[in-house]
Structure 1
Amino acid sequence: MTNYISSLSFSTATNKSIASQTSNLVKLQKEVSSGRHYDVGLHLGSSTGEAVSIRAQFHTLNAIVDTNALISSSLDVGVQALENVSTLASDFQSTLLTSIGSATARSVIVSSSKDNLDSLISTLNTSFNGSFIFAGINTEETPIETYETGSTSKTAIDASFNAKFGFGPDDPQVANITVADIEDYLDNGFAAEFDSANWAANWSSATDEVTSSRISATEVIDTSVSANEEPLRKLAMAYTMISSLGAGKMSQKTFDAVANKATEVIGSAIQSLNNVIGKAGNAQARVSDASDRLAIQTDTLNERIVDLENVDKTEASVKLSSAVTQLELTYTITSRMQNLSLLNYL
């Protein structure tokens, strides 16, 4: 029996072979360049679900690591700012002590207290990465209003002073205020201006609630400090006490009473502020530790992903080289077959 092979059937078969080899070549090229299987799902089969789950975990933990980096930087800025506030308060307290009983030092201390209040407010309005870090959860709004004529805070202090004495802090009658009267005012009406309610009403738009952040799969911690913290309110009280109650016009004894009270308030504030700084420092350490643990976890997950999805590049390169050779051979044979003709044998 004689078998016949037509030119058309040969051409069709050859084209199919070339198409198949070319497709395989493309897949191998992509595997060599990417390091991953061309069709991971097809390769893994029933293990595809595991790969998807591990990748989801990997991306979730990586996102937390990225967030932790921002949290850590924000805490660094906040802690440094509070340490500066504490140092400035301590220096002012020392200077204030030297002003007691000294008429010549009074103008300097009054000016310095105003500068310190401005500095405190500026610090509490610090922003990082577009958010006010001492604003609690109200991070888009400046937490503390500038203390100046017409501001809610200064208007409230002036009104409080006037309610007690019947005249304002700039009135010459301030010289007649007695030690007993100023001490009563400082302990009651003036102190009330810095309690939580009046601070929120007249000074601060910050919330008592601070930002909390997930720093690992199982940990959520507080990661900011509010401008409403008591030691910060106390420092504002002490600086305002010296700068805004007409201290420059008071008798020496009355001024000394104010200076002594301010010294006492600052001392208490510094002690409490250092506790706040310590708490923020503890948060820094926890974020750092969590990030270290997450790095280990993500490395482990990545290793498993590599085991499941990646190809052996050496083996893939050998296959690619073989596929190239095979395709070149197919083209060569095809070319020769196409050049065959009966005319060559007649």
Structure 2
Amino acid sequence: MAISSLTLSNFSRSTIQRVQTQLADAQKELNTGRHADVGMTLGYVTGSAVTYHTQESSLKSMLETNKLTNNRFSLMANALGAVRDGADDYSKALLNGSATGTGVSALMTSATQGLQQIFGAINTTDGRAYVFSGTHSDTAPVKSDTTALTDDIKAKFLSALGISDVSQATADQVTAYFGDDGYAIPPSTTKHSFKNDFETSWQTVASAAGGVSTVNISKSEAIETSVSANQAAFKNSVAAYAMVSALGVDKMGDDARKQLTMAAQSKLKAGQDGIVKLQADIGVRQNRITAANDILTKQIDLVGDAYGRLEDVDSTEASLQVNQLMTQLNVSFAVTGKLQGLSILNYL
């Protein structure tokens, strides 16, 4: 069987191509720590590796969602803290405002500012969604203008007491209207109360209530991610500011104004208690997210170890293989060079 220099040259070139392919795969394995072609290496076990990767992606997605949810809760907590701080200041104004003179002026100023501040807190947004709007996160929970609310409250107050100006309200009428039983204009027996009237007044500024949104924070646990602006805690706080801001207490008699400020204090206290409960509830949810994240992180580590046992290569072995293939490639180049230098003319 004759062997020509052309045959040897072709064989050498095919060897170089094969070694170059093997070297590229070996370098890829050395750089990534994984088999260059996982499917070809694992064969029928590839399905298990794909399943592990899918599980890992799902777990990492939950971690990212939990991060966003926790940021949302932090915004809620900050907004509730601002509402609570404002209520503390307003409580002091209510105590001072039951007297005449400058106390009344400060009381009305505090009520107006407090109403605007709490509306701003309720409309807190993370730049993409309103955090107190539930499933209607693209809609502001309340209108930014408080005028519609205060105007409606004043109109219902005057109508319920059968008067044309707040200066005509008596202490007994104010006490009855802001009490739970309400006030009936004689001789009528139909009673009107601030509690019921405020519910309809609230609708003049509140958007349609959205449902409570939920999210899975782990494979087996879901939590509510929203707090509705229609919570009693918010409405009681708003009512405390609005009843003073709307009714012009500077025009009331001392006794009537005292009864009004006492009613406002009662609403404010109920609102403050509700805000504290909401803050505590959000804190509990954040703790649940932290605990879920710890579990998710451990699960991700376990899944990573599982597919790592299938796909990972030994770095030392991969490095040795790269060196061996590079040596083999250099030898093949040298042999090819010598073969190309062969000529029958050298022997004639």
Q: Do both share a fold (TM > 0.5)?
A: yes
1:192 counterpart residue number = 196
- Residue correspondence of structure 1 range 263-278 to structure 2 within 5 A: 263-278=265-280
Distance 1:113 1:94 in 2: 11
Distance 1:143 1:324 in 2: 68
Q: In structure 2, the residue corresponding to 1:81 is in which secondary structure?
A: helix
- CA RMSD after TM alignment: 1.8
- Residue correspondence of structure 1 range 1-346 to structure 2 within 5 A: 3-149=1-147, 151=148, 153-165=149-161, 173-187=165-179, 188-195=192-199, 199=202, 201-205=203-207, 207=209, 209-346=211-348
CA contact (8 A) 1:141 1:205 kept: yes
Distance 2:155 2:114 in 1: 22
Instruction: Please tell me the residue identity of whatever aligns with 2:153.
Output: I
Distance 1:154 1:102 in 2: 22
1:274–1:208 CA distance, 2 compared to 1 (3 A): farther
Give a deviation string over 1:199-226, Cα, whole Å, max 9, x none: 3x32211525322111111111112211
Distance 2:65 2:197 in 1: 38
CA contact (8 A) 2:133 2:139 kept: yes
1:258–1:147 CA distance, 2 compared to 1 (3 A): farther
Give a deviation string over 1:127-173, Cα, whole Å, max 9, x none: 11411111111111111112444x3x3443243134224566xxxx3
- Give aligned pairs, total: 336
What percent of counterpart residues are identical? Answer: 31
Runs of 4+ in structure 1 deviating by more than 3 angstroms, as ranges, are: 101-104, 165-168
Instruction: Please tell me the residue identity of whatever aligns with 2:170.
Output: T
Distance 1:204 1:72 in 2: 26
Distance 1:339 1:21 in 2: 22
Q: In structure 1, the residue corresponding to 2:247 is in which secondary structure?
A: coil
Q: In structure 2, the residue corresponding to 1:105 is in which secondary structure?
A: helix
Give a deviation string over 1:94-138, Cα, whole Å, max 9, x none: 331232244431111111011001000000011114111111111
1:222–1:148 CA distance, 2 compared to 1 (3 A): closer
TM-score (normalizing by structure 2): 0.91
Structure 2's unaligned 5+ residue stretches are 180-191
Deviation at 1:83, TM superposition (A): 2.1
Structure 1's unaligned 5+ residue stretches are none
1:198–1:48 CA distance, 2 compared to 1 (3 A): farther
Deviation at 1:343, TM superposition (A): 2.5
CA contact (8 A) 1:86 1:273 kept: yes
Deviation at 1:38, TM superposition (A): 0.7
Q: In structure 2, the residue corresponding to 1:47 is in which secondary structure?
A: helix
Deviation at 1:80, TM superposition (A): 2.1
Distance 1:253 1:182 in 2: 9
CA contact (8 A) 2:93 2:106 kept: no
Distance 2:208 2:92 in 1: 30
